[in-house]
Structure 1
Amino acid sequence: MKKSRTTTLNLHLRNERELRGWTRSYVAEKLGLADPKTVGRWERGVSSPNAYFRQKLCGLFEKTAQDLGLLQPMVDIQHEQGVDSPSAIQNQNTPPAIPTSFLYDPATPSIAAGTVKIIGSEKWLQHLKSLLCSSRHPTYISLHGLPGVGKTTLAIELAHDHEIQTHFHDGVLWARVGPKPDIMGLLSRWGTLVGLPAALMNNLTTCEDWIEAIRTAINTRRILFIIDDVWKIEDALNFKIGGPNCAHLITTRFPDVALQFSPGESILLPELNIDDGLALLACFVPDLVAAELPATRKLVQLVGGLPLALTIMGKYLQRQAYSGQPRRVETALERLYNTEERLQLKELQSSLERSPSLPAETPLSLQAVIGASDNQLENDARNTLYALSIFPAKPNSFSEQAALAVGDTSTETLDTLIDAGLLESYGPGRYTLHQTIVDYAKTQQKDRRVEERLVTYMLNYIQRHEMNYDVLQLENANILTAMEIAYEMQMQEELVQISCAIAPFLYMRGSDTLAEEHLTRAYVTAMAHRDNRGVIKTLLHLGEIMRKRGEYRQTEAYLQDGLNLARQLEDTKLINILLERLSAIILAIVIELQGNYVQAETYYLEELTLARQHHLHGQISRLLTDLGVLTGQQGNYTQAEAYLKEALAIVRQQDLRETETTTFAALGWVVAEQGNYQQAEAYLQEGLMLARQIRNRERYVSLLWALGMTEIDQGNYAQAKTHLQEGLELARQLTHRELISELLLKLGRVATDQGDYTQAETYLQEGLSVTRRIGHNKLIGDLLQHLSIVAAKRGKDAQVDAYIQEGLTVARQVGHRELLCTLLLQLGERAIVQEDYNQAEEHLQTALSIARQISHRKRISMVLACLSMQAIKCGNYGQAKIYLADGLTLARQLNLPHLICTLLYHKGECQLKQQQSSAAAANFREMLSSSPKGCQELIASARYGLARVAALQKNFAEAQQQGHSSLSLFEKIGHHSSNEVRSWLDTLPPLTNHIIEQQHLNSVGML
């Protein structure tokens, strides 16, 4: 039989429900109750909601537990088998009931008053729970961070967390502090909650009295104290009153307060990343986030992932989207893109939700929340904060020196802003500001002198560190900001100086479009003010950008204009001479790229003499490097290496790391051309490491290109392809068309050597298309020459002739001797195929003469290989042996596997013609073992040679085997030689059992 008990009607709960016109079913649905009768039991006083449902009721009605009459003594309801029993609650997937002795603080904000849910702070919630629920007590924890970062929201979640309430089974007490707290009032409320007798409380007159009385009443009870929005450490310490089993958590925007309260457990709550910020917005407008991802992503970035800003914006967008009219949402988004609109967007709150930092009549907004901190600052600190907002926001940072100069302030003031939680430390000697702080401060900043100070400081900074790109990288965004300000404020002289000083850094790092934009503005400004030196400087850098893009005609136009203007100046100071000479240097580079080595070398040597006279180490090293490349291209590797080693010694001594990467690339190439691949790779790898360190992507690509060339020469095609494809991807990002073409040419070479002629042609045709647009004649000729090789291997004679003739026209127009030599070599090979041996001899002898004139040993060896083939065809075997001996000597000196194998093939051919089967076999076998892995053409050719040796020795089974193996490879890669091999196989006698048996006996006898 049930025990009888006294019940008390809860008229507060019923009246609040009826006042809103809500039914019990409606309330039950909102609370997640299966049975509406449960609400009736609560109203009749038959049972009381546990802590979980008390919290949900407070959130639903937006009233305190006291307002709803939920704080009467708990009754024994275990005998009821309704939804209020622990088993029934668990069946509804709700947490088990908190012990009936749990002390509930009605001042605790409800979860509904906070954010929809904790987004991006789950790990911090778990971390805080693990700290609070540890066996170590008393516990003191501080949670600090920017205004609006979600500290209070996280604290609210903790207060209502089931594990926290279970661990702190005696209750959770909450104090809303703010800048001007009523300490006595908050302590007296806590005193009432912990059960202090009224008579005792009437005699408590000081904070110390209240603290002592509350601590005594708590005794060994286990309670969590949450002190929210603390502004002064004295206030936090007044609430540090728990006993040995208690824990204290404060939230504060001031890192100094947090550190003083809990030195060992001071936790900085960061803002949200992009993904978490989008997830938070999606809690309010999921369809909008899904449909307008770029627009909503921009919103997250505009507020730096600050949860308060995202929540206010999310609720605003939710209201605008409710009508279903896209027009309203579009207008709302445009409004939110405006800084002042975002700052002033307001949200009304109930008294329980309102931040203690804000006056009672002030709606919640970013402007109000950040302004609360601003209002506490002294004038010096406030003006410094406003001044520092000129720097771009986080993740950008700025140095302490820049902050002091721009803010016209002291380190003590910076420390004040750090302690106020408005300025953030970003490592030793560097600071940063959150986006919302910058936005707020910019709306207050009115002093135009701040902008002038930034421009002046950054100009001096660039001039001090002009060649130290790592140092410039630290202030890159701040320098760009200074340039924009100089342009807007019409600071003509400063604009030109900054634009020209920072231009090399920008285009060396791949930001040539940005550099061009600023240089063009500086050029127009200099022209308008008749600043001739400024015009010349901007033209120099614009010419360099055009050169990197391969737009040589525009390059020449810029530099000729600069030269003409420099010559018109009557001032004979050294700066004018150097400007003229620097213009000439860049102009020489253009001429060199068009293949006019002699004229280019004249420029370089003239400039080198002048640079040595004036001890211009940077210019000397660059000129020596350029001369090294130039002489190397002419095949004079000894002189090239001497130039480059002198350049390397200078750049190392002067720490000119940008030039050093160029020198490494050139040295690696020159040494590789001489066959010293190990040393070449050492230079190139060191250059790559340095290019990574200084973040020079253009140099990095050039070094990858050089490494790829080295691997090709060694026959390491897989590794070569890896380097070249990585370089091509980066070159495309840089839109560096000359490098793109060079890389496509080398990738075409790899594909050709591997027998993938279709892919080779794809690479080469793309390279030709790019190169035609930039007018790089040398590259056009190289690509045409290689396309002719691919066409020849596929047996497309008409295409071969067309490519060669166009290439010859280009080579003769620019007088590029190496290109002319290569194309004449190609013509000689074509004449041999067509059996026009006299014409072949003429072309090849001319090519050999040119190769020897430019001392290009690789080209000499290639021509000798082709001349040997022509001599063999004419039956002049003695002359062929001379050509082959000289060619092989050079090829072995240069350590070029592909060329060595080609010469071995011709040597074997010569010996076959002379019936020297054993010697021929030895050469073909060496060729087979030396062929680069994956070079199907060479392998197929070697097997064809071995097949013919076997046939000469009457070993027809071996001949058939090697011949078919060769045919299979030639057919696989689509090589025209497959026709020749197939025809030759048809001439072999058919294999009979007698022949096979006889050949087996012959082979056994040989063993």
Structure 2
Amino acid sequence: MSSQLKGPSSRLKAERELRGWSQQYVAEQIGADRYYLSRWEHGKMLPSPYYREKLCALFGKNARELGFLSQTESPEQAREEIQEVQLGAPSVLPANAGKAIEDPTIPPLPGPVHDLVGRQELLDSLKSGLSSGAPSTIMALSGLPGVGKTAVATALAHDEEMRNFFHDGILWAAVGKKSDVPGILSRWGTLLGISSIEAARLTTISAWTQAIRTAIGARRMLIIIDDVWKLEDVVAFKVGGNSCAYLATTRFPQLASHAAADGALAVPELSSADSMLLLERLVPLVVQNEQATAREITHLVGGLPLALLLTGNFLRVQTYNRQPRRIRQAIERLRTAEMRLHLQEAQPISQRSPSLADVPAISLHTLIAVSDQQLDETARRALYALSVFPAKPNTFSEEAALAVCLCSGDVLDTLSDVGLLESYAPDRYALHQTIADYASFQRSDPAPIERLIHYMTDYVHANEQDYPRLELENSNVLTALRLAAEHGQPSDLVATGNIFATFLSVRGAYEEAINLLERVRQAATTLQDQQGLGFALYHLGEIKMNQGEYRQAYDYLQEGLTLISTQDTPALMSQLLRMLGCVESYQGAYREAEEHLRQALALARQPGYEELQSLVLRSSGAVAGDQGKIAQAELFLQEGLTLARQIGKPEQICPLLVNLSQIALMRGRFAEADVLGQEALALAVQINYLPAQCLLYSHLGVAALEQEKYAQAQEALLQGLTLARQLGHPEYLIGILSNLGRLMCKQGGDVAKAEMYLQEALTKARAIASPWLQAGTLYEWGEFYLQQQRLAEAQAAFDEMYLLSTPDSQEYAALARYGQSRVAAALNDLELARRYGAESLALLHAMEEHYRTSEVQHWLTTL
């Protein structure tokens, strides 16, 4: 080496100081360690050609001007002679410095990148973050075992845009539970061109890290650290310069957050649509022929990609010969959690999880067990206990979790930190379906079940009037009551089930309520609890009435009345009589309905029964209104509303406002009906009273229609139609369909659509055998036919309507006669038209303030 190179490189130092730059700043600009810059300036070593080129570009000087060459030495000679003078890590950049590194351990793609279903948004976020150009960018992916973290990282490593941006190469570290940091660094060193002689001198992780950092220098590379279990491993593999970026994957959310802060992203489960898409690619035959079953499978595995792959591959193998019997048998086997957990598939060595490198076949059970084995005994017991809660999307409170597990909050924190327990909104947690299946399979202690039953039954009794709080724990309560039935705790089931059935009815969750009440009925029979059984029959009667099954509702209520006839239970007797009256009114038996409601009100007019009294007054008002007794209906409803406001229960106030809005509509006070309806709707939304919301949309639609606000009317009625179909409430559905048909006619809209709405309404009204629902629909049909000048059909509709309306429904009888009068006039039978018109007017006058009175009166003057 030339003697001129042995002294300090004062020129480099002088140029740096001339510009006011620190050693750290220069080092960062060229992607080197400050340690080497100091040694270069003191002549202890010379920069490699790579760094020499960087320094020349930075300072705008050539190598001789910076003191790297003697006056007689040519650049070619210097490149051959420059060596490390003494001590320190290698300074010579490998010969492959300009080539992109191809890491052979990057897992191969199972297919084209676009086949990674449902991950495009996540990939876009990663690509944007990693290619931002910020120094030493680090991002981290966390998620459940089997959610596809490695698959996303693999797709990123093969992405063309990423490869172009990180043009110097991508390094991959498969870390796992038992990381081999020296082995991975050594392999990287070989890829980066560190010679075996240099490698022999690198005996510590620190030495390897420094050597690799020097070898990488300013190269732009992506370093992927897969399946990290310890933060120390992330730190150990951060070996690049400022131009490098890092992506870590881990099953531990806390570790991801610690390692990457704002760059930490959670890998979610697949959506329902993406789950179906993935399953269809695996087993198109099953998805095409068994849509409902395929959706059930995606739900059972909670959208977890690995679970979908395992179940899909199982179905493909089992159904290769397309025999329906084998398909059904395979599907039935998958309904068992144990079967789903132990489905396994052989994994190529290149695709094995680092934590399961010695396991030739992967299953959900083995993958989750690796995390389970890291827990201490307390955390493990808590995880198993939590499996008594329904799985995601259900959530449960921290208070409930602690009560069921009998543990401290620290234990929940541990489960959350390791990714087995998902943290939701403040004080809420959830278990993924596969984690819940695994934990349930491991649980042998029945005590958590008993604790869940006791906690949830106490919760329902404490929050009986607080519907939002009951809604929050809806699934948990239903699960606890089902477990109470299965584990021989009938007293808890009867006492709590009847309370919760009321809440479910308000929600319009009729099928859930029926299933619960059948269990209550059986438990009450076993206990010989007549009162508990009577309340169950009352609830069943109410629900069946709402579903339009009047005969079955009547039978339930009569059974209840017979059961408690010798019991001293006036409140329950009043409830049963009230509901019986409502059922009878739907069937057109108004005299019987009024008598039963009179008896119910007499029993309810006792001190302390104000809430029950309000209920009976509401039903009495509704039945009076159905008969056209408007003034009497309003008296009942206003008295009931006064009581309900004193009690302060929105679920009592809301339906009374609904009925009063109906009275306002009958009187033609459409603005008033709108005000009452809006107040009621606000309450219904507040407590999520879905049946009331449905009926209110109908009332608000009619109010807008009568005021010729057609767009507003259509919006309200279509909202009501959606809810009515969702609830399966035939009465409300029929009314809304009839009103939509009327709207189409009135605004001169689509005649075919109007006919479609009216036909569906009449078909459903005939199916449930409700005379007044049929009468109301026939009136709209008659109006439709009159508008279309189809007089024979209009006459038939009004004639049938009149027969259904007499003798009990003055309103529908009056409207039928009005329709018949107009048909007669169109047929030039003016005498008959006047007679029918006069009958209609007399009936309307008797009803007091019906809004059609003036219309009929005016019609008569034109004849």
- Structure 2 residue aligned with 1:396: 394
1:523 equivalent to 2:521? Answer yes
- Structure 2 residue aligned with 1:263: 261
- Structure 2 residue aligned with 1:465: 463
Tell me, in whole angstroms, the C-alpha distance in 2 between the residues paired with 1:712 and 1:132: 57
Assess, with a 3 A threshold, how the Cα gap between structure 1 residues 653 and 170 changes in structure 2: closer, same or farther: farther
Tell me, in whole angstroms, the C-alpha distance in 2 between the residues paired with 1:384 and 1:376: 14
Query: Which deviates the most, 305-314 or 677-686?
Result: 305-314
Tell me, in whole angstroms, the C-alpha distance in 2 between the residues paired with 1:828 and 1:198: 108
- Structure 1 residue aligned with 2:377: 379
Tell me, in whole angstroms, the C-alpha distance in 2 between the residues paired with 1:716 and 1:133: 55
Tell me, in whole angstroms, the C-alpha distance in 1 between the residues paired with 2:824 and 2:293: 65
Instruction: Compare relative contact order (CA 8 Å, sep 6+) and give the higher one, 1 or 2.
Output: 2
Q: Deviations over 1:224-254 (max 9, x none)?
A: 3222111121232222232333222211100
Contact 1:784 1:804 in 2 (8 A): no
Amino acid at match of 1:179: K
- Structure 2 residue aligned with 1:697: 690
- Structure 1 residue aligned with 2:364: 366
User: Counterparts of 1:550-949 in structure 2 under 5 Å?
Assistant: 550-569=548-567, 572=568, 576-593=569-586, 611=604, 613-630=606-623, 632=625, 640-641=633-634, 644-645=637-638, 647-648=640-641, 651=644, 654-711=647-704, 713-714=706-707, 720=713, 723-724=716-717, 726-728=719-721, 730-746=723-739, 767=761, 769-782=763-776, 800=795, 804=799, 807-808=802-803, 811-812=806-807, 815-819=808-812, 851-858=844-851, 861=853, 891=854, 899=855, 903-904=857-858, 906-907=860-861
Amino acid at match of 1:344: H
Which of 160, 179, 182 matches 1:181?
179
Tell me, in whole angstroms, the C-alpha distance in 2 between the residues paired with 1:680 and 1:329: 56
Amino acid at match of 2:107: P
Tell me, in whole angstroms, the C-alpha distance in 1 between the residues paired with 2:211 and 2:611: 78
Amino acid at match of 1:577: P
- Structure 1 residue aligned with 2:66: none
Tell me, in whole angstroms, the C-alpha distance in 2 between the residues paired with 1:489 and 1:431: 25
Q: Deviations over 1:687-735 (max 9, x none)?
A: 3344345443321221133234434544666765664465445434433
- Structure 2 residue aligned with 1:447: 445
- Structure 2 residue aligned with 1:208: 206
1:206, distance to aligned residue in structure 2 (A) = 3.9
1:808, distance to aligned residue in structure 2 (A) = 4.5
Contact 1:821 1:851 in 2 (8 A): yes
1:419, distance to aligned residue in structure 2 (A) = 0.3
Q: Deviations over 1:599-649 (max 9, x none)?
A: 756765665576564344543443443444455556665665565456556
Contact 2:785 2:791 in 1 (8 A): yes
Structure 2 segments unaligned to the other structure (5+ residues): 1-95
Amino acid at match of 1:776: S
Tell me, in whole angstroms, the C-alpha distance in 2 between the residues paired with 1:201 and 1:758: 84
RMSD of aligned alpha carbons = 4.0
User: Counterparts of 1:137-152 in structure 2 under 5 Å?
Assistant: 137-152=135-150
- Structure 1 residue aligned with 2:90: none
1:444, distance to aligned residue in structure 2 (A) = 1.1
1:128, distance to aligned residue in structure 2 (A) = 1.9
Amino acid at match of 1:186: I
Contact 1:114 1:153 in 2 (8 A): no
- Structure 2 residue aligned with 1:349: 347
Structure 2 residue matching 1:262: 3-state secondary structure: helix
1:377, distance to aligned residue in structure 2 (A) = 0.8
- Structure 2 residue aligned with 1:409: 407
1:346, distance to aligned residue in structure 2 (A) = 2.3
Tell me, in whole angstroms, the C-alpha distance in 1 between the residues paired with 2:312 and 2:757: 50
Contact 2:212 2:239 in 1 (8 A): yes
1:905, distance to aligned residue in structure 2 (A) = 5.5
Tell me, in whole angstroms, the C-alpha distance in 2 between the residues paired with 1:100 and 1:328: 58
Assess, with a 3 A threshold, how the Cα gap between structure 1 residues 692 and 198 changes in structure 2: closer, same or farther: same
For these two proteins, the number of residue pairs brought into alignment is 766
Tell me, in whole angstroms, the C-alpha distance in 2 between the residues paired with 1:289 and 1:561: 46
Q: Deviations over 1:269-311 (max 9, x none)?
A: 1122233334444555556655655554443333222222233
Identity of matched residues, %: 40
Structure 2 residue matching 1:245: 3-state secondary structure: coil
Assess, with a 3 A threshold, how the Cα gap between structure 1 residues 264 and 549 changes in structure 2: closer, same or farther: closer
1:418, distance to aligned residue in structure 2 (A) = 0.7
Q: Deviations over 1:176-202 (max 9, x none)?
A: 221222333333433444444545544
- Structure 2 residue aligned with 1:245: 243
Amino acid at match of 1:533: Q
Tell me, in whole angstroms, the C-alpha distance in 1 between the residues paired with 2:396 and 2:851: 53
Contact 1:362 1:368 in 2 (8 A): no
- Structure 2 residue aligned with 1:104: 102
Q: Deviations over 1:932-991 (max 9, x none)?
A: xxxxxxxxxxxxxxxxxxxxxxxxxxxxxxxxxxxxxxxxxxxxxxxxxxxxxxxxxxxx
- Structure 2 residue aligned with 1:484: 482
TM-score (norm 1): 0.67
Tell me, in whole angstroms, the C-alpha distance in 2 between the residues paired with 1:356 and 1:758: 65
Assess, with a 3 A threshold, how the Cα gap between structure 1 residues 828 and 104 changes in structure 2: closer, same or farther: closer
Amino acid at match of 2:426: P
Structure 1 segments unaligned to the other structure (5+ residues): 1-97, 862-890, 892-898, 910-1007
Amino acid at match of 1:774: I
Contact 2:801 2:812 in 1 (8 A): no
